[in-house]
Structure 1
Amino acid sequence: MRAEPQPSRYIADPAITALADWIGAPVEAADFPETIMRFRNDRWAASVGLDSLDDAAWIRHFGRFEPLDGNLPRPLALKYHGHQFRVYNPDIGDGRGFLFAQMRGADGRLLDLGTKGSGQTPYSRAGDGRLTLKGAVREILATEMLEALGVNTSKTFSVVETGEQLQRGDEPSPTRSAVMVRLNHSHIRIGTFQRLVALEDADNMAQLVDYCLTQFPGPLPPDDAPGRDEPAVILLHQVVERMADLAASYMVAGFVHGVLNTDNMNIAGESFDYGPWRWLPTWNPGFTAAYFDHGGLYAFGRQPEALHWNCGQLAVALRLLADTEPLVAAMNRFGDLYMAAIARRWCWRLGVQPRGAEADTALVSTCEQHMRDAAIGPGAFFFTHRGGRGHAEGDLADALAGYESVADGHEYWSDAAPQSMLIEEVEAIWSAIDQRDDWSVLDNKIAQLRRMGEAHGEPPEPAGHARPG
């Protein structure tokens, strides 16, 4: 069964203040005309000791952004550069969000509360710094679905409707507004490192590497890895491992992020910042989520390539501190790590015991071909064949033969159909809110997704490793 977030007391630890003189600019939140609480994630609030806040206090902190006790006295809009669809852009940063607070979770790890839609910052450029309510609802749905499917994701912590009417060119306007708070382990992006190398700032780069290794610890590189004792090399090995697992988790979930730019990649290997995401209706490597991704750069089947490429940009930045050879050696591990992650996550979602690299790779390949031939998506496939219970024929039957079921008897597996998150259902949930102010449809969907997560249980870890999320 999936472990619930562990309760913890509130332990403020604004560790980012050690970097504050160069990593961000102090800002103020927008003064919203209204603050109507629409979503509070008490499951995860308990993990940082904030579930005891009453609704009025919740609004003060996550709608008006009154500082939490002992935490950042003012929010920080973080500075970073990044490749956006492979085009380098030095003119970005937190344009409609900021880092609001940091605290320790039940496991002692550092957690961030960051915002989206909290107002303009020095990096807003021509933007209004706001978030549509529909965008916030979509982020709730994305993070709840991803968490249920074992993806290392940020958690939507709070959504407050703010009473403004926003104009947007890509959806009906005017539209309702919101401010969202997300919980995740880091807002340090690959783009944060890219900014420092662009500035040739080796001192702060070394400080940032040390911060990341201290706050987000991971395994050491393999014994035979060159430069395995160098901090920059250690960090790259850890990020490569995390990104390989993240890429595999997207593929097994049938998820398309849509905008895998380097400013959307954090060093904890967490998926976050959801815009034009989609889930696959059928197994199609060419399926894209963003209407503006005309070349299919971030199509479903190209996501592992995208994350590997982004790791390469981190390696380029770390050349400020380390030689090329050990960084290349770290990068070269991505392929094998990704294939191992695909195998273990595939078997986990299928509810069978892994049998070894050769058999598991063949199983994945056969299952993919079956989905293409049958024109079905991974949700339907894994639900039908969970624990070997489905009727399989031909190559699929041969591939499944010999796999031992490890699936439990959770009642979810007796449902008529699996939970899904196709665009039609997303639009229907939003329509209920937009047209009738009916939030019960969203609330019910969240409950069903959490039940699905319980049925799947905890995703598998690499041997001897611990995921930072």
Structure 2
Amino acid sequence: MPVSPNYAPDPRFFDLGEDYGDAVRAAAFPKTILRVRNDRAAASVGLETLTDEEWIAHFGRFEPLPGQPGPVAMRYHGHQFRTYNPDLGDGRGFLAAQMREAPLGAQAASDRVARDSASPGRLLDLGTKGSGQTPWSRAGDGRLTLKGGVREVLAAAMLESQGVPTSRAFSLIETGEDLERGDEPSPTRSAVLVRLSHSHIRFGTFQRAAYLGRTDMVEALVEHARSLYHPGVAAGDAPGFLRAVVEASARLTARWIAAGFVHGVLNTDNLNVTGESFDYGPWRFLPHYEPGFTAAYFDQTGLYAFARQPEAVFWALTQLGGALKLVADAGPLTEALNGFGPAYIRELRAAFLARLGVQSLGEAADQRLLDATLALLREGGEAQRWEPLFFDWFGGFASSARALQGPRGKLYQGEAFDAFRFALFEHAPDRPERLEAPMFAAAEPEEMLIDEVEAIWAAIEADDHWAPLHAKLARLETARQVLSLNPA
């Protein structure tokens, strides 16, 4: 099999033993039609040289890659909408493989934050969604709708283009089954998705060990996750490990907010120890500033609404801290948790600077810009769409003529705009040569609003027309290359 010399299998999760997962087999699908193949992601782990036939064999039929022991369904618990559920676990997916990032992979990070938190040789996972039933499927069929797979591909690509730490949609294969679902027209088409992620060890993985009263399992998980994902933390330092997870989670949450992104389901089984976003179900991007905007129709109380995401992530972190009390004193753990607020504000300032393409001028000036940007978005109402503001004013002063003469020029007036412009113009552009990219000559930015998502799906559903999806992905890749520090 022509894997490249950069392919370096290293299935480390399996070292933890049988208490943490169950060996499983993928479903036998009637069809395997390759719909999305992410060769840039594949190159980061030395798998870009696979033929399409080999790709389908490994990511449609799940024949093990070289050096991999075979799929394992991970065991975990979790709070779902703050109700504890001990009956979770990988119910329609599994960990398919682990390998080391190729030497140049760390340079492919989509922003400074992601790059600085990475290093050559990171351990990466290939995890599935829709690969069949497992011991944790409960009453589910273990399948994924094709529409759900398309939505995950789009969410991951949009977030990566905006510099949000995210899993990447590695492969999408249509599987030829008719699925019945209560929340969308049925029967509907089926698919299996593979994502490339830094880790699938969740907060709920630790919660399960604590629920079982297994101090030994909590200790093993801390050492495993510390050594592989936060090696700067000393061995045995559970509060230090929690502090590292808090910092990574604060960075992720701030990037979501700056992107105008609503994850939708921030349960403790959907948050991991590396602070990387994954598992995109009922997600949305904001059309305009709306603190109470929700992504999931079943989130009737707005628990995971846009502006409540920092609160939700912090609450989940406290549950992780509670699980770690089996191996550490409460005081140092509480101190680690108390670092979330300051870290989040610091990361939020950095995230908005990155989105506006300007350099830091110090804490006070950066905070003025953050406050002024949010005020302008708030006061602009529905007329001031979220994404176009960052597009119009990317680069600060250098974009004045482009913004004021553009299609939204008449919006940029009044006291809130004056305060925003003053705060923005204090900051020097960060790499203003990026403004020479053709994408900034367009009238509109790349957005990911629900109407476009539905239109992309409608073309697939009605006519099996995949060109709109692939064109969108190509445009998002162009945006990623323009905005990122290292466009590889």
- 2:285 is aligned to 279
* Residue 403 in structure 1 maps to residue 400 in structure 2: no
- 1:462 is aligned to none
* Residue 43 in structure 1 maps to residue 27 in structure 2: no
- 1:93 is aligned to 89
Query: What are the Cα deviations for residues 223-272 of structure 1, in whole angstroms up to 9, with x where unaligned?
Result: xxxxx874211210110000000000000000000000000011011100
Alpha-carbon distance between aligned partners in 2 of 1:70 and 1:341, rounded to the nearest angstrom? 39
3-state SS of paired residue (2:27): coil
| Percent of residue pairs identical | 53
Runs of 5+ unmatched residues, structure 1: 1-6, 221-227, 460-469
Residue 171 of structure 2 aligns with an amino acid whose one-letter code is: S
Q: CA RMSD in A?
A: 1.4
- When the two structures are superposed, what TM-score results if normalisation uses the length of structure 2? 0.89
* Residue 126 in structure 1 maps to residue 139 in structure 2: yes
Alpha-carbon distance between aligned partners in 2 of 1:355 and 1:345, rounded to the nearest angstrom? 14
Query: What are the Cα deviations for residues 74-115 of structure 1, in whole angstroms up to 9, with x where unaligned?
Result: 310111000000111001110000011111112211111010
Alpha-carbon distance between aligned partners in 2 of 1:245 and 1:327, rounded to the nearest angstrom? 19
> What is the Cα deviation at residue 219 of structure 1?
4.2
* Residue 313 in structure 1 maps to residue 319 in structure 2: yes
Match among 201, 205, 211 for residue 218 of structure 2: 205
* Residue 446 in structure 1 maps to residue 473 in structure 2: yes
C-alpha contact (below 8 Å) 1:8/1:48 kept by paired residues: no
- 1:369 is aligned to 375
1:404-419 aligned at under 5 Å gives the runs: 404-406=428-430, 407=432, 408=434, 409-419=436-446
Query: What are the Cα deviations for residues 296-327 of structure 1, in whole angstroms up to 9, with x where unaligned?
Result: 00000001111111111110000000001100
C-alpha contact (below 8 Å) 1:8/1:46 kept by paired residues: no
C-alpha contact (below 8 Å) 1:8/1:47 kept by paired residues: no
Residue 324 of structure 2 aligns with an amino acid whose one-letter code is: L
* Residue 60 in structure 1 maps to residue 68 in structure 2: no
3-state SS of paired residue (1:235): helix
C-alpha contact (below 8 Å) 1:12/1:104 kept by paired residues: yes
Residue 473 of structure 2 aligns with an amino acid whose one-letter code is: I
Residue 94 of structure 2 aligns with an amino acid whose one-letter code is: F
C-alpha contact (below 8 Å) 1:96/1:116 kept by paired residues: yes
1:148-187 aligned at under 5 Å gives the runs: 148-187=161-200
- When the two structures are superposed, what TM-score results if normalisation uses the length of structure 1? 0.93
1:210-249 aligned at under 5 Å gives the runs: 210-220=223-233, 230-249=236-255
Query: What are the Cα deviations for residues 39-85 of structure 1, in whole angstroms up to 9, with x where unaligned?
Result: 1110010111111110111111100010111112x310111000000
**Divergent runs of 4+, >6 A:** none
Runs of 5+ unmatched residues, structure 2: 103-119, 405-411
Query: What are the Cα deviations for residues 400-456 of structure 1, in whole angstroms up to 9, with x where unaligned?
Result: 232111232322222111000000000000011111111111010000001111121
- 1:77 is aligned to 73
* Residue 379 in structure 1 maps to residue 401 in structure 2: no
Alpha-carbon distance between aligned partners in 2 of 1:179 and 1:396, rounded to the nearest angstrom? 45
Alpha-carbon distance between aligned partners in 1 of 2:354 and 2:483, rounded to the nearest angstrom? 8
Alpha-carbon distance between aligned partners in 1 of 2:485 and 2:312, rounded to the nearest angstrom? 26
Residue 69 of structure 1 aligns with an amino acid whose one-letter code is: P
Alpha-carbon distance between aligned partners in 2 of 1:20 and 1:58, rounded to the nearest angstrom? 28
